[in-house]
Amino acid sequence: MKKIIRVWDLPIRLFHWLLVAGIILSFVTVKIGGNAMSWHAFSGYCVLSLIIFRIIWGFVGSYHARFMHFVPSPKGLIHFLRDKTEAGLGHNPLGALSVLALLFSVGLQAVTGLFANDDIAFEGPFAKYVSNDVVQLFTSIHYFNENILIIVISLHLCAILYYQKFKGENLIKPMLVGDKEIDPSETEINLSADLGQASKDGSLQRGLALLLLSLIAVTLGYFITS
């Protein structure tokens, strides 16, 4: 009989899908331009709040959300690539690198947007505090990183499709419902993979996540509007 284990807590799942929505909105509004750039800025602020939340949650959140439980060491990554270790319930080593790449690229895009200036319809709220050379540098990074972000997202989607088609593993469903089904015997075969470790997802964790995200959003909003 299959065993159901909570892997992704509600804060992680909401973070994931809100980030997806924010990225899509950012891409759409920047292509429209004009008055839509105000929405582009708003989505960027929301995305930055989410990224900051995810970084903090990676240290104080539930078991499988913590970086220490899924970011691989170089040795662990090599062993995984050589099929010498099994993946755990959360992100496997390659998935962990994908998560880090996404967090870095999306975060870089959001931060540089605060200082960017397209000389047409948008000026970042922090652009007035730095020199023109710095503004130009951050604007260039913002434009260049957009292409990097598209590549990283494309690789992420390809990995999801690969696991679905060739390994028979649905990576989307657990991010929707939070749970994974495993064979209890797998926890005995490979204890090092943390296959039996569930993530806490109670009212305490959810309340802490809501408080944390609210504080981040309010603080960021204060600095942006002041």
Q: Where residue 191 sits, what CATH number does that domain have?
A: 1.20.950.20
Q: Which domain holds residue 182?
A: 3-225
Structural domains of the chain, count: 1
Confidence bin at 23 (pLDDT 50/70/90): very high
d(CA 118, CA 139): 7
pLDDT of residue 46: 97
pLDDT tens digits, 31-66: 999 899 999 999 999 999 999 999 999 999 999 999
Confidence bin at 190 (pLDDT 50/70/90): very low
pLDDT tens digits, 130-156: 999 999 999 999 999 999 999 999 999
**Is residue 191 predicted with pLDDT exceeding 50?**
no
Helix axis angle, 93-113 to 37-60, nearest 10°: 140
Instruction: Quote the tokens at residue 104.
Output: 């870095």
pLDDT of residue 198: 85
Instruction: Quote the tokens at residue 53.
Output: 């939340």
Instruction: Quote the tokens at residue 109.
Output: 């895009």
The alpha carbon of 101 is separated from its chain's Cα centroid by a whole number of angstroms, namely 9
pLDDT of residue 57: 97
pLDDT of residue 189: 43
